[in-house]
Amino acid sequence: MLPSALALLILIGFTASPTSGDSEDPSPSVYLSVCGKNITPDAQSFANNFVDAAEKISQNIKTSGFGTSSSGDTLTVFVLGQCYSYLSPPNCQLCFDQSRSRLPSCYPAVSGRIYVDGCFLEYSDRNVETDSVDSADAYACSNITVEDRIRPVFSKSTAELMGNLTGEAGRKADYSQVGSVTVAPDLTVYGMAECWRTLNVTGCKDCLEKGRANIVGKCLPAGGGKAMNAGCFLRYSVDSFYANQSSSAGGGGGDSSADRGCVGPVLQYAGNLSRQYAADRVVPSASSRRLLATDLISCR
Ligand SMILES: *[C@@H]1O[C@H](CO)[C@@H](O)[C@H](O)[C@H]1NC(C)=O
Ligand SMILES: *[C@@H]1O[C@H](CO)[C@@H](O)[C@H](O)[C@H]1NC(C)=O
Ligand SMILES: *[C@@H]1O[C@H](CO)[C@@H](O)[C@H](O)[C@H]1NC(C)=O
Ligand SMILES: *[C@@H]1O[C@H](CO)[C@@H](O)[C@H](O)[C@H]1NC(C)=O
Ligand SMILES: *[C@@H]1O[C@H](CO)[C@@H](O)[C@H](O)[C@H]1NC(C)=O
C-alpha cells in the first residue's frame, strides 16, 4: 500500500519534470530545508500560529523584502523571512509564497528553515532574530567544472571576490552585496553575500566569515558554491544568477538551467548533520516519505 503510493509519487515527480521546462516553471527552486529535532505537543495549534505569523509578515515582505513576527500566547511561533536584495518585488513575492508553502513540511518540528533561490524563511518556538551561526549551518557545491587551464586564476579571483563581498556586505546598512569579476574573456564569476537584517554587525560578520571559509575553502575550484547559515547566505557561481532579473521570465533568482538541476532540497535534522554534500549528490532522506515526495517534485 504505502510502497505503491510512494511509487506513484516518484512517478509523478519524474514524469512532471520533462513537461515543465525551466523557463516556464515559475517556482524558484528549493536549495535546502533544515528541520529541528524537537516536536510540538500540539501540531494543529502550532500550525495555526505559523500560518498566522507568516501572514503577518507577508505584507512587509512585499514592501521591504523583510519581516519578522510572532503569533500565539501559548505555543508561540516566531517567523523571520527575507528576500535577497537583488530580487525584484514580484520575484520576492513568488519566492516568499514558495517558501511559505514548503516550510510546513517540517511540522511537527518546533523549528524549521528553508533556503530558496532568492529568499529565506524560518519559524521557531523561540525568537531566532540574533542567531548567527549554529550546528545546522550547511554548504553545497555545484558540479559545474571550470576548464583546467583557467582553474588557478578562477579560484584566486573567486576567493578574492568573496572576500571583498563579505567585507562590504558586513559594512552596508542592508547587510548585502553582489558583485562579479571577469576571469577570462568568456568566464565571469558572480557572487553575493547577505545577512538577515536582525543581526548586529558582529553576528553578521561571524556568519559571513564562516560561510565564506566554507565555500572558498571547500567548493573551489567548483563552478559554484552556496553557504546556508543560521544568519546569512552566500553564493558564487559562473552563472549570472542575480543579474538582469525579469519578473516574468525565469524563476525567483534567475538561475540558469546549468546550475539549476536537483540541487536540493534535503532534509537535515539540526544537531545531527552531515554538513557537506555536493549539490549533485543529494539523495532524498529515506527517513521521511512525505519529504521524499516534496524533494522529487521540487527537483525540476
Ligand atoms: C577586491 O577589492 C579590491 C579593493 O577594492 C579591488 O582592488 C579588487 O579588484 C577586488 N577584487 C575582486 C575580485 O573583486
Ligand atoms: C551581537 O549578536 C550576537 C549574536 O548574534 C551576540 O552574541 C552579541 O552579544 C551581540 N553583540 C552586541 C554588541 O550586541
Ligand atoms: C543586462 O542585459 C543588458 C541587455 O540585455 C546588457 O546590456 C547588460 O549588460 C546586462 N546587465 C548585466 C548586469 O548583466
Ligand atoms: C547521529 O547519527 C548517527 C548515525 O546516523 C548516530 O550514530 C549518532 O548517534 C547521531 N548523533 C546524535 C547526536 O544524534
Ligand atoms: C550536474 O548534476 C546534474 C544533476 O545531477 C546533472 O544533470 C548534470 O549533468 C551534472 N553536470 C555536470 C557538468 O556534471
- Give the pLDDT band (50/70/90) at residue 243: confident
Pocket test for ligand 3, best of 190, 237, 238, 244 (most atoms within 8 A of CB): 244
Distance 258 CA to ligand 2 centre (A): 39
Is residue 261 over pLDDT 90? no
- Give the pLDDT band (50/70/90) at residue 24: low
Indicate whether 183 and 219 sit together in one domain. Answer: yes
Number of domains in the chain: 2
Indicate whether 10 and 123 sit together in one domain. Answer: yes
15 Cβ inside 6 Å of ligand 4: no
Indicate whether 267 and 254 sit together in one domain. Answer: no
Residues flanking ligand 5, CB < 6 Å = 143-144, 261-262, 280
- Residue with more model confidence, 257 or 146: 146
**pLDDT for the residue numbered 25:** 62
Provide mean pLDDT across the span 261-284.
Answer: 33
Contact 243, 188 (CB under 8 A): no
Indicate whether 127 and 272 sit together in one domain. Answer: yes
272 Cβ inside 6 Å of ligand 4: yes
Provide mean pLDDT across the span 49-77.
Answer: 94
Pocket test for ligand 5, best of 255, 280, 295, 300 (most atoms within 8 A of CB): 280
- In what helix (H) or strand (E) does residue 292 lie, and over which residues does it extend? helix 289-298
**pLDDT for the residue numbered 27:** 85
Is residue 288 over pLDDT 50? no
157 Cβ inside 6 Å of ligand 1: yes
pTM, rounded to two decimals = 0.75
Q: Which ligand is nearest to the CA of 196?
A: 2
**pLDDT for the residue numbered 52:** 96
Indicate whether 37 and 79 sit together in one domain. Answer: yes
Residue nearest atom 3 in ligand 2 by C-alpha distance: 203
Distance 65 CA to ligand 3 centre (A): 24
Indicate whether 9 and 126 sit together in one domain. Answer: yes
Contact 127, 70 (CB under 8 A): yes
- The Cα 134–Cα 97 span in angstroms is 26
Q: Which ligand is nearest to the CA of 243?
A: 3
Indicate whether 270 and 210 sit together in one domain. Answer: no
SS3 labels along 181-239: EEEECCEEEEEEEEECCCCCHHHHHHHHHHHHHHHHHHCCCCCEEEEECCCEEEEEECC
CATH of the domain at 235: 3.30.430.20
Rg (CA), the chain: 18
Query: Which ligand 3 atom is nearest residue 244's CA?
Result: 1
Is residue 47 over pLDDT 60? yes
Q: pLDDT > 90: what percent of the chain?
A: 70
Distance 65 CA to ligand 2 centre (A): 23
Indicate whether 95 and 127 sit together in one domain. Answer: yes
Indicate whether 212 and 163 sit together in one domain. Answer: yes
Contact 100, 27 (CB under 8 A): no
74 Cβ inside 6 Å of ligand 4: no
Domain containing residue 79: 2-131+263-298
Query: Which ligand 1 atom is nearest residue 179's CA?
Result: 14
Provide mean pLDDT across the span 8-14.
Answer: 33
Indicate whether 57 and 152 sit together in one domain. Answer: no
- Give the pLDDT band (50/70/90) at residue 245: low
Distance 274 CA to ligand 4 centre (A): 10
Indicate whether 156 and 174 sit together in one domain. Answer: yes
- Residue with more model confidence, 65 or 288: 65
Residue nearest atom 7 in ligand 1 by C-alpha distance: 164
- Give the pLDDT band (50/70/90) at residue 276: very low
Contact 139, 217 (CB under 8 A): no
Distance 272 CA to ligand 3 centre (A): 43
Q: Which ligand is nearest to the CA of 245?
A: 3
Average pLDDT, the chain: 79
Residue nearest atom 5 in ligand 4 by C-alpha distance: 272
Joined grid coordinates for residue 297: 517534485
Indicate whether 151 and 204 sit together in one domain. Answer: yes
Q: pLDDT > 70: what percent of the chain?
A: 73
244 Cβ inside 6 Å of ligand 3: yes
**pLDDT for the residue numbered 214:** 96
Is residue 250 over pLDDT 90? no
pLDDT digits (tens, 9 = 90+) for 77-111: 999 999 999 999 999 999 999 999 999 999 999 99
Q: How many helices (H) and strands (E) does the chain have?
A: 6, 12
Provide mean pLDDT across the span 130-143.
Answer: 95
Least confident interval from 51-55, 90-94, 214-218, 273-277: 273-277
